[in-house]
């Protein structure tokens, strides 16, 4: 009687009675089966990690991390269903598609096919809505490169605004990208306010109802000045940075822009012939922005954050520490100075006694060597401090070095943005003398342009007298070469007036010492 074969029996081979592996029944090699089992096992943690968030839960680990660090599209900015669908449709070839679109954009720009260029730009932003360079580069194309191709300034203005609106669209998709707001501020300020047709552009911008209604409804007519609107954009960008968003550009320059746009606003008022209270208020606004800038913390490459307005305080701290060192080591600084002074050669001493402008080359070299050899600072003095006060002296020296180095770092960063000159400018321009000087210069230039030579000469004379008061009250502006260059241009126009009147240039000239100083 035959027994029914069990699975175990059926798996036996006819030779040797060996069992077949289960994988062979499925037509798989043992290694393949193990791989499938591994994949199945991995699907469990992957499912837990990648579970999307919904209204009922916060989703898996990845969804929670995206929410924590603000990496989801909803955190970055508006969600565009068309954009998401296009990126899915590329099946992982999004970067290839974008590269091809960049190439097409450059082609359409060369052949001046603005319609197709606009279409390509739209496609690019759908595929890469969170890529800063797409918005920046193409907005620059629209406002700067394409706008100049048109003859009518109305058309040029329209393309400038297309670039600005392009940036607005980018901002809506990138709410944590302060650079886009900065670029929008730059376009509104610099492109509208410094173009060759700036007079027309500024007028059109102020009257642009569509833009201002989209940008900030209720903005009054005086607030529509392009420089004031640019300042709003920079201030909005600063708020994003202050809220914790990373700033992937030079912080010093970025945070100086609100001040510079306020300065440009005040200058633009005066160029338009607006003086008196309005001009003073413009410069007061610039001064307020200067003070905000001076107390803002700026990161540095030394990993030591600084505030530009703290240089004087750091130098004062160094002086206080130096006073403590002098009390701890009385007379030692001067003693070391005297010892070094006595160590230089007679030739070097003689060279120092010769006025710098009268020295020969050999005397100049000898004087420089002598000054270097006679130089004394606190590290040299502390190195020779008595043993009983050496530890205290070293601690004070550390504080002195820290204050001096911080002041030096601040000095370097100030130079980059011409901080001292702009601060002195904001302080000087609100004075009666400065407002009088600006107004008289403006009247003189208008009279000269209209061939009213005697009134022009009289106005220039008034302006120079007022400028003399301004510069005598500001050592920084008095020594500033840029201020001197601006004055020299005014003096050149004054010379032309005198030539046409057949009158000699006055000697001595009221501003001669200032121009000579900067020469």
Question: pLDDT-derived band of residue 371, with 50, 70 and 90 as boundaries?
Answer: very high
| Percentage, residues of the chain above pLDDT 90 | 66
Comparing 56-70, 144-158, 383-397, 496-510, the range with the smallest average pLDDT is 56-70
Q: Are residues 133 and 281 in the same domain?
A: yes
- How far, CA to CA in Å, does 424 sit from each of 30, 154, 299, 420, 475? 83, 38, 24, 6, 9
Is residue 230 within 8 Å of residue 285, measured between CB atoms? no
Residues 399 and 508 in one domain: no
Cα R_g (the chain), whole angstroms: 36
Is the pLDDT at 134 greater than 60, yes or no? Answer: yes
pLDDT of residue 431: 96
Does the pLDDT at position 483 exceed 80? yes
Task: Establish if 52 belongs to a structural domain.
Answer: no
Q: Which of these, 178, 201, 197, lies nearest to 188 by C-alpha position?
A: 201
Considering the domain architecture, whether residues 289 and 334 belong to the same structural domain is answered as no
CB burial class (10 A; 0-12, 13-18, 19+) of residue 264? Answer: buried
Residue 306's DSSP bridge partners are 298
Mean pLDDT of 441-458: 96
What value does the mean pLDDT take over residues 22-29?
A: 54
**Same structural domain, 212 and 352:** no
376 & 261 share domain: no
- Dist. CA 413–CA 117, nearest whole Å: 41
* Whole-number percent of the chain with pLDDT over 70: 85
> Do 259 and 199 share a structural domain?
yes
Q: What is the mean pLDDT of residues 43-59?
A: 67
Is residue 148, in this structure, part of any structural domain at all? Answer: yes
Q: In the prediction, which pLDDT does 4 show? A: 43
Residue reference for tokens 């030096």: 408
Identity of the highest mean pLDDT range in 51-60, 115-124, 465-474? 465-474
User: pTM of the entire structure?
Assistant: 0.79
74 — pLDDT class (breaks 50, 70, 90): very low
What pLDDT is recorded for position 181?
97
The DSSP line for 81-150 is HHHHHHHHHTTT-HHHHHHHHHHHHHHHHHTT-HHHHHHHHHHHHHH-TT-HHHHHHHHHIIIIIIGGG-
Residues 363 and 394 in one domain: yes
Total count of domains within the chain? 3
Asked whether residue 18 carries a pLDDT value surpassing 80, the answer given is: no
The mean per-residue pLDDT over the stretch 240-251 comes to 95
Give the chain's mean pLDDT.
Answer: 87
The whole-angstrom separation of Cα 134 and Cα 127 is 10
Is residue 121 located within the same domain as residue 90?
A: yes
68 located within any domain = no
Whether 56 is covered by a domain: the verdict is: no
Question: Would you place residue 8 in the very low, low, confident or very high pLDDT band (cuts 50, 70, 90)?
Answer: very low
Coarse DSSP helix, strand, coil percentages of the chain, rounded to the nearest 5 percent: 75, 0, 25
Same domain, 409 and 449: no
The answer on 410 and 513 residing in a single domain is no
Query: What pLDDT score was predicted for residue 215?
Result: 96
- Both 160 and 289 in a single domain? yes
- Among 295, 316, 343, which residue terminates a domain? 295
Residue 126 lies in a domain: yes
Q: Which of 139, 232, 248, 240 is nearest to 191 (CA)?
A: 139
What is the rounded average pLDDT of the residues 305-310? 96
For residue 256, tell me if it sits in a domain.
yes
- Report CA dihedral (493, 497, 502, 507) to the nearest 10 degrees: -50
Q: 161-206: per-residue pLDDT in tens?
A: 999 999 999 999 999 999 999 999 999 999 999 999 999 999 999 9
pLDDT at position 57 is: 65
Q: Are 261 and 234 in contact (CB under 8 A)?
A: yes
Q: How confident is the model at residue 122 (pLDDT cuts 50, 70, 90)?
A: confident
- Is residue 46 domain-resident? no
Q: Between 10 and 333, where is the model more confident?
A: 333
3-state secondary structure of 401: helix
| 401-448 tens-digit pLDDT | 999 999 999 999 999 999 999 999 999 999 999 999 999 999 999 999
Q: How far is CA 175 from each of CA 130, 167, 236, 239, 431, rounded to the nearest angstrom?
A: 10, 12, 11, 11, 41
Q: Which residues of 5-27 are buried (b: 16+ CB within 10 A; e: fewer)?
A: eeeeeeeeeeeeeeeeeeeeeee
- Give the pLDDT confidence score for residue 96 in this predicted structure: 79
Query: Tokens representing 142?
Result: 């629209």
DSSP one-letter string for 317-343: HHHHHHHHHHHHSTTHHHHHHHHHHHH
Average pLDDT over every residue of 7-18 = 46
**Confidence label for 1 from pLDDT (cuts 50, 70 and 90):** very low
Q: Kindly state whether residues 242 and 383 are assigned to the same domain.
A: no
pLDDT confidence of residue 429: 97
Lowest mean pLDDT across 10-14, 41-45, 98-102, 203-207: 10-14
| pLDDT beyond 90 at 287 | yes
Res. 43: pLDDT tops 90 = no
Q: Is residue 253 part of a domain?
A: yes
Q: Are 166 and 183 in contact (CB under 8 A)?
A: no
Lowest mean pLDDT among 339-348, 419-428, 454-463, 509-518: 509-518
Among the candidates 388, 419, 450, a domain finishes at: 419
Better pLDDT: 386 or 36: 386
pLDDT average, residue stretch 381-402: 95
* Domain, as residue range, for 186: 81-295
Task: Identify the bridge partners of residue 19 per DSSP, sorted by sequence position.
Answer: 12
Domain end marker among 235, 260, 295 = 295
DSSP string computed for 147-213: GGG-SSHHHHHHHHHHHHHHHHHHHHH-TT-HHHHHHHHHIIIIIHHHSTTHHHHHHHHHT-HHHHH
């Amino acid at each position: 009687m035959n027994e029914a074969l069990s699975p175990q029996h059926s798996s036996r081979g006819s030779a040797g009675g060996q069992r077949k592996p289960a994988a062979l029944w499925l037509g798989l090699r043992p290694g393949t089966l193990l791989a499938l089992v591994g994949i199945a096992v991995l699907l469990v943690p992957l499912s837990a990690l990648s579970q999307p968030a919904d209204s009922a839960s916060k989703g898996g680990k990845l969804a929670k991390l995206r929410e924590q660090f603000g990496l989801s599209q909803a955190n970055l900015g508006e969600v565009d269903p068309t954009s998401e669908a296009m990126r899915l449709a590329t099946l992982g070839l999004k970067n290839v598609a974008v590269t091809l679109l960049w190439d097409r954009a450059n082609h359409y720009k060369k052949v001046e096919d603005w319609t197709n260029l606009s279409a390509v730009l739209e496609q690019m932003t759908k595929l890469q809505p969170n890529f800063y360079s797409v918005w920046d580069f193409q907005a620059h194309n629209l406002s700067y490169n394409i706008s100049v191709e048109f003859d009518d300034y109305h058309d040029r203005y329209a393309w400038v605004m297309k670039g600005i609106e392009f940036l607005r669209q980018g901002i809506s998709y990138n709410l944590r990208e302060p650079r886009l707001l900065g670029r929008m501020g730059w376009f509104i300020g610099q492109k509208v306010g410094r173009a060759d047709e700036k007079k027309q552009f500024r007028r059109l911008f102020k009257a642009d109802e569509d833009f201002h209604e989209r940008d900030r409804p209720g903005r009054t007519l005086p607030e529509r000045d392009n420089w004031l609107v640019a300042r709003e954009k920079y201030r909005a960008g600063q708020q994003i940075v202050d809220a914790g968003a990373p700033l992937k550009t030079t912080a010093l320059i970025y945070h100086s822009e609100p001040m510079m746009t306020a300065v440009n606003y005040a200058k633009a008022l005066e160029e338009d012939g607006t003086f008196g209270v309005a001009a003073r208020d413009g410069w007061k606004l610039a001064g307020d922005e200067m003070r905000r800038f001076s107390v803002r913390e700026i990161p540095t490459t030394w990993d030591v954050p600084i505030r530009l307005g703290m240089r004087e305080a750091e130098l004062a701290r160094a002086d206080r520490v130096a006073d403590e060192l002098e009390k701890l080591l009385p007379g030692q600084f001067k003693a070391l100075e005297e010892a070094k002074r006595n160590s230089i050669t007679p030739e070097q001493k003689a060279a120092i006694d010769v006025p710098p402008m009268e020295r020969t080359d050999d005397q100049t070299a000898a004087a420089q060597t002598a000054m270097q050899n006679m130089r004394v600072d606190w590290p040299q003095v502390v190195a020779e401090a008595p043993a009983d006060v050496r530890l205290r002296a070293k601690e004070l020296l550390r504080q002195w070095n820290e204050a001096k180095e911080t002041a030096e770092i601040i000095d370097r960063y100030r130079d980059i943005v011409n901080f001292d000159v702009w601060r002195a400018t904001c302080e000087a321009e609100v004075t009666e003398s400065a407002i009088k000087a600006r107004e008289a210069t403006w009247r003189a230039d208008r009279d000269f342009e209209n061939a009213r030579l005697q009134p022009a000469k009289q106005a220039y004379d008034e302006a120079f007298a007022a400028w003399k008061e301004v510069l005598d009250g500001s050592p920084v502006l008095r020594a500033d070469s840029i201020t001197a260059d601006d004055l020299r241009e005014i003096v050149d126009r004054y010379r032309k007036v005198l030539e046409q009147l057949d009158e000699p240039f006055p000697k001595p000239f009221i501003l001669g010492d200032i121009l000579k100083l900067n020469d």
